[in-house]
Amino acid sequence: MKIKIIKKTPFGQMAVIWFISCDSPRICRILLSKPEWDAEDQAFDIYPNLQVTSSEEIDGVATAIKSFLEGENVIFSLENVALEQCSSFQKSVLLAEYQIPRGSISTYQLIARHLGVEKGARAVGNALATNPFPIIIPCHRAIRSDGTIGGFQGGIGMKKALLKKEGIYFDQRGRILSPRFYYEKEICGNV
C-alpha cells in the first residue's frame, strides 16, 4: 500500500491510500484529519507499512481534493476509486450519494427510499459513516430527516463548513434552511 499526504488544506492534512492494480493506481481509502487525530497518524496506525509515494493520477486527485476543500466546484471521477472493496449495499449507497450535485443535499431516508429500502435510513447512515472515499464521494451532502446535519468522519464542524461552501445555510439551531433535497421528487410530500 502507498500513501499520498495532502498538506495545508483548510481542514488539516488528508491522506490518500492507494495501490497499483493492472498497472493503474487504485484509491482504497481517503482519510480526513479529525480534531484529535491527523490523517497521516491515522494512516500509519491502520497501515503500518505504507510507502510514501505518488503517481501522476494520484497527484491529480490530491490537487482536486485540495481545490474542493478550498471551495472550488470540483467533480471527481470514480475511475481510480476501488469501489469493488465495498459490499454491494454500500456501493449502491455510495453511488447514490455521488449523484447528489453541489449545492444540494439529501437525507438518509430519501436515499434509502431511492434504493428501494423503505426502512433503511440507519443502514444508509452506517454505509456513509464508513465511506472509504469521503470528499470524492460527497457524503457530507447527506443529513438527517429533521434537518440536522448528522455525523461526518472529519467532524461536524468540517461537514457544516463544506455545506456552507456549497451554498447551504443554517438557522441558529443548526438546522438547514431552504434545502434542495435530491431524490425528494421520487416521493410525495416534503421531508
Q: Which residues are catalytic?
A: 139
Query: What SS3 state is found at 7?
Result: strand
Query: How far from 170 is each of 97, 117, 132, 164, 179, CA to CA, in Å?
Result: 21, 29, 27, 8, 10
CB distance 85 to 137 below 8 Å:
no
- Per DSSP, 147 falls in state S
Intra-chain end-to-end CA distance of the chain, in Å:
43
Question: What's the CA gap between 150 and 144, in Å, rounded?
Answer: 6
Q: Using CA atoms, how far apart are residues 80 and 20, in angstroms rounded to an integer?
A: 10
Cα–Cα distance measured from residue 90 to residue 126, given in angstroms and rounded to the nearest whole number = 9
Helix boundaries (H) for the chain: 39-46, 56-69, 88-98, 108-114, 121-129, 156-165
